[in-house]
Amino acid sequence: MAECGRVDSHTMDKSITLPPDEIFRNLENAKRFAIDIGGSLTKLAYYSTVKHKVAKVRSFDHSTKEAASDKLYEISVQEEVTARLHFIKFENAYIETCLDFIKDHLVNTETKVIKATGGGAHKFKVLIERKLGLKVDKEDEMSCLIKGCNFVLKNIPHEAFVYAKHADSEFRFQTTDPDIFPYLLVNIGSGVSIAKVESEDKFERIGGSSIGGGTFWGLGALLTKTKRFDELLQLASKGQHSSVDMLVKDIYGGSYGYLGLTGDLIASSFGKSATADKEFSKEDMAKSLLHMISNDIGQLACLYARLHNLSRVYFGGFFIRGHPLTMHTITYSINFFTKGEVQALFLRHEGYLGAIGAFLKGAEEDNPNQYSWGENYAGSSGLMSVSPDMYPMQRARSGTFDMLEMDRLDRQLVNLPLLQEPSSYIPDTVDLTEDAPAREYWLFCFEDALDGVVKRAVASQPDMPEAAVRAEKFRQKYRHKLQTLRYQPFAYGSLTVRSLLDTREHCLNEFNFPDPYSKIKERENDVALKYYQKVVKSLEELSWEDRQFALVRGVLAGNVFDWGAKAVSDVLESDPEFGFEQAKRQLEDNSGVDIILGVMPLVRELLSRGTEVVLASNSGPALNDVTNGELQILTERIAAMDPVIQSGLRDDRLTLVQNGSSSPCLDLSRLDKALAMVVRERKTDLVIIEGMGRAIHTNYFATLSCESLKLAVIKNSWLADRLGGKLFSVVFKYEVPAGKPSQEAAVLTP
Amino acid sequence: TSVQCDWCVAFPWFGMDIGGTLVKLVYFEPKDITAEEEQEEVENLKSIRRYLTSNIAYGTTGIRDVHLELQDLTLCGRKGNLHFIRFPTHDLPVFLQMGRNKHFSSLHTTLCATGGGAYKFENDFRTMADLQLHKLDELDCLVRGVLYIDSVMSSGPSECYYFENPTDPDHCVQKPYLLENPYPLLLVNIGSGVSILAVYSENNYKRVTGTSLGGGTFLGLCCLLTGCSTFEEALEMASEGESTRVDKLVRDIYGGDYERFGLPGWAVASSFGNMMSKEKRESVSKEDLARATLVTITNNIGSITRMCALNENIERVVFVGNFLRVNTLSMKLLAYAMDYWSKGQLKALFLRHEGYFGAVGALLELLHPS
C-alpha cells in the first residue's frame, strides 16, 4: 500500500520566516498547483513562467554594406518568457506557514483548483481550501507516483542510481535507456505496493505486502520505545542484528554447505529473542527489524520481477527516501535473492514523484509531456544525504526545504539516430563522482576560474550599472554549488566536467548573464572573416593531399582559440601578443580562428567534392562557442564572398541546424529532434565532432553506427597528463564501426 | 511369527532432527519381539524402550506426542509402534547426559541425525555421550519423511487434510485429503525459519527459496512484545487478541475497498501500521500484539508461497513444520490466503505429523540407506 498514514502529529511551526528569494520562487506567475502530503513531508508543485534575458543576434541589412561595415551583426539582450516547474519539499510542520506565504505572494487569480495526493491530503484538505481558497481535487496516489516516475526517467538523465555502500562512490548513476518501459515500481510506504508499468498510460498493481515502512515504524516503536522513524533508523545503524537473529551458523555451527547458505545468513529473524530471561538492546532489535523487513520486501520484489520477467526494479516511498541504510539493505536483499541478476534501482527525485504526477494530471492542457524538460542546476538543491556524519554540508534536517526546478526546453530532445547502442551511451569521458583526484582537480579549476568568469560577465554588460551586484550574486551561488559538490559529488547525478560547466551556465542565466562572450565572439568572428578568403586561396594552391592535412591542422588550430580553456587564457592574459601567430606556430600551420578559418574551409572542401554537409551548432550560448543564430549570419557573410558555400546553401547541400544544446559539451542522447530528423533523412554516414568539450570531455568513447572523426587539441595540462600526452597535443580519432571497413581510413588517419 | 530379516539394523531404531528451536526424535518400538530375542536383548536396550514408551514427558521439557503415535506399523519387516518425541534444542545437553547415564553408546548403534544441530553438536555427541552421529541433509530427510508417512497405511485419522470453505469462517471445516499422486508439490516447511521446496518426484526436488520470517520470528517477537516465554503461551494469547487494532487495514486508509486495485477493505495494508501512533500503542493489549504477530508472519509466508507456486507453476501446497503445531489459527489463515488470492487455484494441504518428517526421514535413512 502506498498510503502513508499521518501519525504523531507535530505541532505546527509558525516561527520560521521564509526567504522569498530562495523558496517558492516565481510565485507571482504561478498556476496549476499540486500538493503531495506524506507521513512527514509535504511536496508542493507549481507551474510558473520565468522572464529572463537572452542574447539574440540579428544581421544588418547588407545591401547598405558601407554603413554597417564596422559591425558584423547586432547583439541585443531581450527578455524571453520560459516555463518552469517548481517542486518544493518541506516538513509537514511548516505546512501552515507555507500556505500563508503562498497566499500572500500569489497574484494569479485564474487558479481555482489544487491537485492533491498522498495520505495526508485528506487530513489537510480543509486547511488548504481555507488558506488558499482553492478547491482540493484528490488524485489516486499510485497513478500519480507512476506518472511522476515516467516523467523524471524521461527528462532527467542520471535520475536512477544503484547504491553501493562500500564503493568509492556510493551512488552509481545509470544511463537511461531511451525506452524506459517496462519496469517494476516498488513503493514502500507504510505498506508495500508493487506496480508493473508498461507504457505511459498502462500500469497495473500486481501485488504488494503489508510488511513495509509502517511495520518498521510501528513494531520498532513498540520494541524500542523510540517514536520517530529517523531515530529508529539511527538506532538500527548502530546495532548488531546477530544478537537477536538466529543465523545459519547458530543452527549449523557453520555454513549449510549443501545448499550454499553461508553461516552469517539469517535463518530466523528474532529467533534468539524467543526467551523471557534476556534483555536485548534497542539498537540490536532495530537493526534486526530493518533486516527482516528489507529482506522480505526484496524477496517479494524479486519474485514479482521473475514472474513478470522484468529486470528494471525501482524502489521508492518513505522507507527509502534517500536513507543510505535502507537503500543498502534493500540492495543487499535484491542481490541475494536474484544472485545479482536484478539490480535495485533508486531515484534521485523519488520524494517528488507523487507531487510531479499530481501536477501533471492537473496540467494536461499545457501538454507537459509534449516537451522536453531539463533540471535547472541553479535552482535545484540536489540529492541530499540524510547521514550528517558522512556529509558535513548537510543542513539540519528540520527546517530543510529541498527544491527541484525544471525548465521547459524550447526544443524536444531525442537520441542521435546514429548512436550504436543508445541504452549504454555515456556522454561523459570521466565520471568525477568515482574519480577522486580528477574531481579534486576540476573543482579547484572551476573555483579558480570563477574570478575571471565574474569579470567577464560584468564586462559583457557595460551599460548596466547593477551588473556588478548580480555578478557577485552569481559568484556566491556558483561557489556554494562547488562547495556542495565537494562533499556531495552525487548531488546532481554523476559529477562531470560537463555538469560543472552546465551548472555555471545555469547560474549565469539565473542572474541574467545570458551570453558573457557575445562581444568577444563578435570581435573574433570579425577578424576571422577578414582572413577567410586568404586562407581559402592558400589552401587551393596546395596539392590535394597537402590540402587535406592543412584543413585538419586548420580545424585544430582554430580549436586552440577557446577562451574558456585555462591554459590558453593564462597565456593570453600574461602575453597579449600571443594569439593567432602563436597558435599557428604550435601547430605549424597557417589557419584561422575556430569556425570561420577552421571549420568553414573544411566544409568548403567537402562541398567541392560533392559531399552534403549538415552543420550543427548550439541552440543557446555557452562560453565562446558559436550559436546557431550567429552561424546563420556568418555563413551568409561567407556565402557572399565564396561561391562554393553560396551554391551549397542554395542547392540545399549545406544545411545549418541547431543541436538543442546550450552547453560547451554535447550529450548525443539529448539532441534537437529536428537535427535527428535531418540526420536520418540525409542518411548521414560521417560524423565529425570537434573541440575539447564535445570530443574529449564528452563523446571520446561514444561509438556510432557510421564513420566518425573526433578532433581536438588538449588545452589543459592536467588532462594532457591524464591522457599521457603533452599540453596542446592533438586528438584525431577516426573510427569505423565494426564490420564496415572504409577505404578512406588510410587517407584521413595521420 | 513375524517376518524377520537378518540384514536389518540392530535395535534401537532412532531418527533425529536437531533444529534451531526443537529437537525432534522418532523411535520405533518393536512389538514383535520373540522370546528368543527377548532373552538376548541387553538390559540397556530394554531400559531405554521402557523409559521412552512408559512415559509421555521426559525431564521438564521433553514431550511425547501420543496422539501422533503410529501403531502396528511394519518397518523393515518388523512390526511395531512409531513414537514421536520433542524437546527444546537448548536442552540437548540434558539429553546427552541421559544418553551417557544409560550407556547408550554400549549399544553400538548408528544414530542418524539431521537438521543443523547434527553438524553443530556433532562434537558434543562424541565427547559427552561417546556417540558417533551419521549426519544427513535436512531437506533430503524432510522430503523422504513426508512421502513415507503419507504412503503408510495407518488405522488412525488421515495424514493429509485440508480446510473446506476456507473463506467462510462459519463453514470452514477440516477434511481428509487423499494425496494419491502427490507430484508436483510445493512443500513449505515452517520451523524457526521457512524453506520452500518444489518436489517433482521422490528423488527430484529443489529448494525454491526460504524466508527468515518463520516460527522463530513469531515466538521471538511475541516474547519481546508480551513477555511470554513459550510457543503455547504465545498462541494462547494470540487466540484471544484482535489484530485489527494493531494493523492498519485497507479500509482504515480508504474508508472501504480500494476498488481501483481490487483490494478489499479488510486486507491488511500495513502490519503494525497502527502502532506508528502513540495513542494506539497505548490502547492495544498483549493479546492483540500476539495475534498481529501471528497474522503478519502467517500472511507473509502465504504471500511468498503463492508467488513461488506461480513461478513454479504448481497448484498443490503442503505446509509442514512445528509452527503449525496446535496452530489452527495459522492453518486456517494459510488456507484462506491460498484460496482467496489465487481465486481458488491453489490448495493448501496440511499433514498431521507437522514437524516430525525430518526425523522420520533420518530413521528411514538408517534402515534403507539411499
| Per-residue model confidence as pLDDT tens digits over B120-158 | 999 999 999 999 999 999 999 999 999 999 888 566 678
Report how far residue B48's alpha carbon sits from residue B53's, in angstroms, rounded to the nearest whole number: 9
Please answer yes or no on whether A271 and B21 come within 8 Å at the CB atom: yes
Q: Of B191, B207, B216, which has the smallest distance from its Cβ to A259's Cβ?
A: B207
Candidates B136, B207, B208, B212, partner chain A, best to mutate (most A CBs within 10 A): B212
Q: Could you list the active site residues of B? A: 138
- Say whether residue B219 is in contact with chain A using an 8 A CB cutoff: yes
Give the chain A residue whose CA is nearest to the CA of B252.
A5
What's the gap in Å between the CA of A276 and the closest CA on chain B? 5
Give the chain B residue whose CA is nearest to the CA of A232.
B276
* Predicted pLDDT at A473: 95
Q: Report the pLDDT averaged over residues A500-527.
A: 87
Chain B residue numbers touching A254 (CB-CB < 8 A): 119-120
Would the pLDDT of A171 be above 60?
yes
* Predicted pLDDT at A593: 64
Place of cell 524506459: A180
- Say whether residue A181 is in contact with chain B using an 8 A CB cutoff: no
Q: Which of A112-126, B20-34, B103-117 has the highest mean pLDDT?
A: B20-34
Q: Of A214, A252, A269, which has the smallest distance from its Cβ to B270's Cβ?
A: A214
H or E element at residue B112: strand B111-114
Cβ neighbours around A77 below 10 Å, total: 18
| Per-residue model confidence as pLDDT tens digits over B17-44 | 999 999 999 999 999 998 988 888 888 8
Please answer yes or no on whether B217 and A209 come within 8 Å at the CB atom: no
Report how far residue A116's alpha carbon sits from residue A139's, in angstroms, rounded to the nearest whole number: 6
In chain B, % helix, strand, coil (3-state, to 5) comes to 45, 25, 30
* Predicted pLDDT at A395: 42
Query: A465: Cβ–Cβ under 8 A, 6 or more apart, which residues?
Result: none
| Per-residue model confidence as pLDDT tens digits over B242-251 | 999 999 999 9
Chain B residue numbers touching A227 (CB-CB < 8 A): 278
* Predicted pLDDT at A13: 52
What's the gap in Å between the CA of B274 and the closest CA on chain A? 7
* Predicted pLDDT at A305: 96
- Characterise A80 by phi-psi region: left (phi > 0), alpha (psi -120 to 50), beta (else): beta
- Say whether residue B289 is in contact with chain A using an 8 A CB cutoff: yes
- Say whether residue A218 is in contact with chain B using an 8 A CB cutoff: yes
Mean pLDDT taken over chain A: 85
- Say whether residue A334 is in contact with chain B using an 8 A CB cutoff: no
Query: B140: Cβ–Cβ under 8 A, 6 or more apart, which residues?
Result: B114, B361, B365, B370
C-alpha cell read off for A647: 551554391
Q: Of A210, A248, A269, which has the smallest distance from its Cβ to B299's Cβ?
A: A210
More confident: A62 or B307: B307
Residues of chain B numbered 94-123 and touching chain A (CB < 8 Å): 115-117, 119-122
- Say whether residue A368 is in contact with chain B using an 8 A CB cutoff: no
A-to-B residue pairs, Cβ atoms closer than 8 angstroms: 213
Task: Name which of A150-159, A337-346, A394-403, B45-54 the model is least confident about.
Answer: A394-403
Q: Report the pLDDT averaged over residues A388-399.
A: 40
- Name the CA dihedral angle for B129, B130, B131, B132, rounded to a multiple of 10 degrees: 150
Give the chain A residue whose CA is nearest to the CA of B262.
A205
Would you give the DSSP letter of residue A704?
A: B
Please answer yes or no on whether B137 and A258 come within 8 Å at the CB atom: yes
More confident: A167 or A578: A167
Task: Name which of B23-27, B255-259, B360-364 the model is least confident about.
Answer: B255-259
Would the pLDDT of B218 be above 90?
yes
| Per-residue model confidence as pLDDT tens digits over B283-326 | 999 999 999 999 999 999 999 999 999 999 999 999 999 999 99
Candidates B244, B276, B303, partner chain A, best to mutate (most A CBs within 10 A): B276
Q: Which amino acid is located at A434 in the chain?
A: E
- Say whether residue A527 is in contact with chain B using an 8 A CB cutoff: no
CA quadruple A132, A135, A136, A139: dihedral sign: negative
What's the gap in Å between the CA of A478 and the closest CA on chain B? 42
* Predicted pLDDT at A63: 53
CA quadruple B41, B45, B51, B53: dihedral sign: negative
Give the chain B residue whose CA is nearest to the CA of A194.
B261
* Predicted pLDDT at B118: 95
Chain B residue numbers touching A2 (CB-CB < 8 A): none
* Predicted pLDDT at A9: 41
* Predicted pLDDT at B255: 81
More confident: A260 or A372: A372
A2 confidence band (pLDDT: 50, 70, 90):
very low
Give the chain A residue whose CA is nearest to the CA of B222.
A274
Chain B residue numbers touching A307 (CB-CB < 8 A): 307, 310-311
Q: Report the pLDDT averaged over residues A179-185.
A: 95
Q: Report the pLDDT averaged over residues A115-137.
A: 89
Q: Which amino acid is located at A231 in the chain?
A: E
* Predicted pLDDT at A365: 76
Cβ neighbours around A640 below 10 Å, total: 12
* Predicted pLDDT at A406: 94
Task: Name which of A8-12, A134-138, B128-132 the model is least confident about.
Answer: A8-12
Please answer yes or no on whether B192 and A268 come within 8 Å at the CB atom: yes
* Predicted pLDDT at B323: 98
- Say whether residue A187 is in contact with chain B using an 8 A CB cutoff: no
Q: Of A5, A267, A275, which has the smallest distance from its Cβ to B192's Cβ?
A: A267
* Residue A238: alpha-carbon gap to chain centroid: 34
Of A362, A394, A384, residue with least CA distance to A85: A362
- Say whether residue B229 is in contact with chain A using an 8 A CB cutoff: yes
Asked whether A12 and A291 are in contact (CB, 8 A), the reply is no
HEC secondary structure over B121-138: CHHHHHHHHCCCEEECCH
- Say whether residue A684 is in contact with chain B using an 8 A CB cutoff: no
What was the ipTM of the complex prediction?
0.95
Query: A328: Cβ–Cβ under 8 A, 6 or more apart, which residues?
Result: A163, A165
Please answer yes or no on whether B275 and A205 come within 8 Å at the CB atom: no
What's the gap in Å between the CA of B342 and the closest CA on chain A? 12
Would the pLDDT of A190 be above 80?
yes
A102 confidence band (pLDDT: 50, 70, 90):
confident
Place of cell 500472511: B299
Would the pLDDT of A180 be above 50?
yes
* Predicted pLDDT at B182: 87
Coil, helix or strand for B7? coil
Would the pLDDT of A592 be above 90?
no
* Predicted pLDDT at A642: 96
Asked whether A748 and A737 are in contact (CB, 8 A), the reply is no
Q: Of B122, B273, B307, which has the smallest distance from its Cβ to A5's Cβ?
A: B273
Please answer yes or no on whether A142 and B217 come within 8 Å at the CB atom: no
Report how far residue A69's alpha carbon sits from residue A66's, in angstroms, rounded to the nearest whole number: 5
Chain A residue numbers touching B247 (CB-CB < 8 A): 210
Report how far residue B103's alpha carbon sits from residue B107's, in angstroms, rounded to the nearest whole number: 8
| Per-residue model confidence as pLDDT tens digits over A143-160 | 999 999 999 999 998 899
What's the gap in Å between the CA of B232 and the closest CA on chain A? 12
Q: Report the pLDDT averaged over residues A594-608.
A: 89
Give the chain B residue whose CA is nearest to the CA of A257.
B137
Would the pLDDT of A68 be above 90?
no
Asked whether A414 and A671 are in contact (CB, 8 A), the reply is yes
What's the gap in Å between the CA of A286 and the closest CA on chain B? 12
Task: Name which of A496-500, A534-538, B82-86 the model is least confident about.
Answer: A534-538
Report how far residue A141's alpha carbon sits from residue A358's, in angstroms, rounded to the nearest whole number: 8
Report how far residue B304's alpha carbon sits from residue B300's, in angstroms, rounded to the nearest whole number: 6
Residue A117 sits at the vertex; the CA angle it makes with A21 and A311, to the nearest 5 degrees, is 100
Q: Report the pLDDT averaged over residues A76-101.
A: 87
Task: Name which of A49-53, A457-461, A673-677, B47-51 the model is least confident about.
Answer: A49-53
* Predicted pLDDT at A558: 67
Q: Report the pLDDT averaged over residues A179-208.
A: 95
CA distances from A696 to A700, A733, B107 (A): 5, 10, 82
Please answer yes or no on whether A300 and B250 come within 8 Å at the CB atom: no
Of A230, A511, A487, A512, residue with least CA distance to A382: A487
What's the gap in Å between the CA of B312 and the closest CA on chain A? 9
Query: B324: Cβ–Cβ under 8 A, 6 or more apart, which residues?
Result: B190, B330, B331, B350, B354, B355
Please answer yes or no on whether A253 and B220 come within 8 Å at the CB atom: no
Report how far residue A386's alpha carbon sits from residue A495's, in angstroms, rounded to the nearest whole number: 19
Report how far residue A93's alpha carbon sits from residue A86's, in angstroms, rounded to the nearest whole number: 20
- Say whether residue A246 is in contact with chain B using an 8 A CB cutoff: yes
* Predicted pLDDT at B265: 92
Please answer yes or no on whether B225 and A223 come within 8 Å at the CB atom: yes
Q: Report the pLDDT averaged over residues A278-300.
A: 97
Of B237, B211, B71, B163, residue with least CA distance to A295: B211
Please answer yes or no on whether A211 and B139 come within 8 Å at the CB atom: no
Residues of chain B numbered 304-323 and touching chain A (CB < 8 Å): 304, 307-308, 310-311
Coil, helix or strand for A84? strand
* Predicted pLDDT at B368: 86
Which residue blocks in chain B are alpha helix, DSSP H?
35-40, 43-54, 92-101, 116-120, 122-129, 138-151, 215-226, 231-240, 250-254, 278-283, 286-312, 328-341, 357-367
| Per-residue model confidence as pLDDT tens digits over A556-573 | 876 655 433 444 445 444
Residue A62 sits at the vertex; the CA angle it makes with A514 and A607, to the nearest 5 degrees, is 80
* Predicted pLDDT at B240: 97
